[in-house]
């Protein structure tokens, strides 16, 4: 299952994210997050599509590093580059608009991008439950959880196993922060 392209993509992502840390309290290396996605897709959901797995491991390179679409296209081909581009937020937009754009774009994403997006939301939901970003007040966490579910709800029918994994992670995250009141930032 682990083929040459996926190994190259994983090494490329590890290099690009090498100076970044996750924003959770324990500040683990950033690459753990893309690795969470390929674990969810390949091991938990048994997805073997190499384009999806490479798209997943590279999914934050354009958004969060100096990587450009052309770099990925040159190294990994247009199919993988297109998947990464599809799951890349437009950072010129303010935060609220970016979140709204994810909700609106979700149902129109390609089947491959939907799988990457679902795995991303599962990984983030598990983090919210077990290891939320440091400095976030509980209401912000609750808002984030609700927003993630809204994005996933607009991709229902894309992949049954991934949706079930998300629902389980969502329930755990909700239970972990029960009793907190949402800020309603998206209202
Ligand atoms: Zn991500």
- Which of these is catalytic: 64, 71, 73, 167? 64
Q: By the 8 A CB rule, do 158 and 115 touch?
A: yes
| 185: in domain | no
DSSP lists the bridge partners of residue 21 as: 29
Tell me how many helices (H) and strands (E) the chain has: 10, 0
Three-state SS for 186? coil
What's the number of domains the chain is made of? 1
User: Ligand 1 centre from 66 Cα, in Å?
Assistant: 16
Report the residue count for the chain.
187
pLDDT of residue 181: 61
**Residue 124 pLDDT > 80:** yes
To the nearest whole percent, how much of the chain has pLDDT over 90?
83
| 184: in domain | no
Dihedral sign for Cα 60, 66, 69, 73, please: negative
Mean pLDDT of 183-187: 54
To the nearest whole percent, how much of the chain has pLDDT over 70?
94
| 132: in domain | yes
User: Ligand 1 centre from 90 Cα, in Å?
Assistant: 14
- Which of these is catalytic: 49, 63, 89, 150? 63
| 47: in domain | yes
User: Ligand 1 centre from 3 Cα, in Å?
Assistant: 22
Active site residue 63: yes
CATH number for the domain that contains residue 57: 1.10.3210.10
Helix (H) or strand (E) holding 97: helix 95-105
pLDDT of residue 76: 98
| 102: in domain | yes
User: Ligand 1 centre from 120 Cα, in Å?
Assistant: 5
Host domain of residue 68: 4-176
| 111: in domain | yes
Q: Which residues surround ligand 1, an ion (CB under 5 A)?
A: 120
User: Ligand 1 centre from 123 Cα, in Å?
Assistant: 8
| 187: in domain | no
> Tens digits of per-residue pLDDT, 69-111?
999 999 999 999 999 999 999 989 999 999 999 999 999 999 9
User: Ligand 1 centre from 27 Cα, in Å?
Assistant: 15
pLDDT band at 1 (very low <50, low <70, confident <90, very high): very low
Active site residue 4: no
> Tens digits of per-residue pLDDT, 22-62?
888 788 899 999 999 999 999 999 999 999 999 999 999 99
| 9: in domain | yes
pTM of the predicted structure, to 2 decimals: 0.93
Q: By the 8 A CB rule, do 167 and 155 touch?
A: no
């Amino acid at each position: 299952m682990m083929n040459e392209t996926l190994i190259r993509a994983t090494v490329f992502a590890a290099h690009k994210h090498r100076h970044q840390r996750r924003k959770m309290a324990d500040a683990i290396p950033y690459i753990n997050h893309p690795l969470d996605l390929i674990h969810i897709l390949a091991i938990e959901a048994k997805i073997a599509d190499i384009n999806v797995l490479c798209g997943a491991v590279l999914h934050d390179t354009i958004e969060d590093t100096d990587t450009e679409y052309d770099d990925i296209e040159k190294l990994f081909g247009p199919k993988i580059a297109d998947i990464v581009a599809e799951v890349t937020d437009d950072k010129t937009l303010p935060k609220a608009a970016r979140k709204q754009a994810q909700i609106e774009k979700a149902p129109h994403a390609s089947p491959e991008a939907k799988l990457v997006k679902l795995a991303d939301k599962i990984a983030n939901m598990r983090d919210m439950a077990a290891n939320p970003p440091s400095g976030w007040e509980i209401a912000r966490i609750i808002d984030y959880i609700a927003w993630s579910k809204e994005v996933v709800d607009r991709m229902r029918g894309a992949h049954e196993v991934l949706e079930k994994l998300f629902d389980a992670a969502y329930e755990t995250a909700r239970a972990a922060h029960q009793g907190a009141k949402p800020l309603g930032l998206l209202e």
